[in-house]
Amino acid sequence: MIGHIQFQENLRLIRQRIEQACIEAGRDPQAVELLPVTKNHPVDAVCFAAEAGLTAVGENRVQEAQEKKAEDSGGLRWELIGHLQSNKVKDAVAVFDRIQSVDSMKLLQRIDRLSGELGQTMPILLQCNSGEDPRKYGFLAPQIAEAMESALQAEHLRLEGLMTIAPLDEDPDSARRAFRALRILRGELEERFAHPLPVLSMGMTGDLEAAIAEGSTQIRVGTALYGNRDV
């Protein structure tokens, strides 16, 4: 795990990349949120983010988030970005402030029900497999309208947008195509349901420029901020 000085330097470089990508895309850098991804790193990673004034962190496992959240009382928002198993939903709705990785109808309904039992409303994103990568979770484009309809009807969910992970692919254009597909899908869904989907969570360390060019409003960055994860 890197130290504090290195983190600040990495953060500076990431902000430069965001700014440059926004300039090239003719976008306002304020419109792109940086979500530091602290998974597989010690709680220090969370503390560094909080000290730097970042307001949220991304984790991909429920138990890891519970442990770190118990140590850090920094008032951050905790976002789940990894696949969620049915038997972990109860703990997930208790620990996370938003679930980005809603990738099946079953999961959507379960999050709704268990959030209701806790007397809360859970903000969610629908994860879309917009690159149609068979190794990735997420709704395929034909299923997403049905998922959106359910999410809008659910009493204890607040649908805020869409999330995708680009395919693992050698072809540098495939990420950009997946991001563009998500942006177009977002526009179609907004029109069809007359409901805004302001959040487009897309782009990571290796493909954030392509994501920003295609309209990302939140990039999820781990490696470029914290170095390699030792897993």
Ligand X SMILES: *Cc1c(COP(=O)(O)O)cnc(C)c1O
User: Among residues 137 and 193, whose Cβ is nearest to ligand X?
Assistant: 137
The footprint of ligand X on residues 130-189 (CB under 6 A) is 165
The amino acid sitting at 83 is H
Shortest Cβ distance from residue 117 to ligand X (Å)? 27
Which stretch, 61-69, 87-95, 135-143, 218-226, contacts ligand X (CB under 6 A)? 218-226
The footprint of ligand X on residues 11-50 (CB under 6 A) is 37, 39
Task: Report the residue from 11, 34, 49, 60 that binds ligand X according to the rule CB under 6 A.
Answer: 60
85/170 Cα distance (integer angstroms): 30
Q: Which residue is nearest to ligand X (CB)?
A: 222
Shortest Cβ distance from residue 71 to ligand X (Å)? 21
The footprint of ligand X on residues 101-130 (CB under 6 A) is none
CA 127 to chain centre: 9
To which residue do tokens 């495939």 refer?
Answer: 174
Q: Residues binding ligand X: what is the number (CB under 6 A)?
A: 14
How far, CA to CA in Å, does 55 sit from each of 24, 35, 78, 107?
A: 26, 8, 9, 27
User: Among residues 183 and 220, whose Cβ is nearest to ligand X?
Assistant: 220
How far, CA to CA in Å, does 58 sit from each of 61, 133, 212, 220, 227?
A: 10, 22, 19, 7, 15
Q: Which of 101, 79, 96 is nearest to 33 (CA)?
A: 79
The amino acid sitting at 150 is S
Binding residues for ligand X, per CB under 6 A?
37, 39, 60, 81-82, 165, 204-206, 220-224
